[in-house]
Amino acid sequence: HNMQAEEIMEKKIASAMEVCKKYNRIKADGKKAEAVWKYNLDMAADAKYPKETEMYEEYADKALAGFKASIKWLKIVDRAMRMVLPYEAEQVLIQHFVEGKPLKSIRGGRNQYMSRTTATKYKKIGIQKLADNISSVEADLKKLEETLENSL
């Protein structure tokens, strides 16, 4: 029975790490979708024929859906990260998993560097707590990712 629980936790942790890896890409793709949306709005406004206007408006709608999906995705993940306690565990999550800093370069409370041992301890706590926070919204995140990908 315990093996099963461990396997489930491992899967959850792998998903949480995947989410951290995707964070910056989702942010960048969202900015791309926003640019595409604005571009197509401009093109629609300058179009000479109704069919042309309609086409650009359709592109704009699709890009806007992707842009909105990225904002929602980031909000959900940010909220899940902010719920991670203690503060040090949240900091390791953000700085190590999202920003990609090595464990010896993590700043904790009062902006001081953590020892590698401390950072390693909080890395485990942080990713486990994020995994728990994210498991209930995982399906939503996947849908939002698809909406974003389809808009680009």
- The model carries a pTM of 0.92
Three-state SS letters, the chain: CHHHHHHHHHHHHHHHHHHHHHHHHHHHHHHHHHHHHHHHHHHHHHCCCHHHHHHHHHHHHHHHHHHHHHHHHHHHHHHHHHCCCCHHHHHHHHHHHHCCCCHHHCECHHHCECCHHHHHHHHHHHHHHHHHHHHCCHHHHHHHHHHHHHHC
pLDDT band, residue 2 (cuts 50/70/90): confident
pLDDT tens digits, residue range 81-137? 999 999 999 999 999 999 999 999 999 989 999 999 999 999 999 999 999 999 999
Q: What is the pLDDT of residue 98?
A: 95
Question: Over 80: is that where the pLDDT of 1 sits?
Answer: no
pLDDT tens by residue, 62-78: 999 999 999 999 999 99
- pLDDT, one tens digit per residue, over 19-34 is 999 999 999 999 999 9
Residue 13 has pLDDT above 70, yes or no: yes
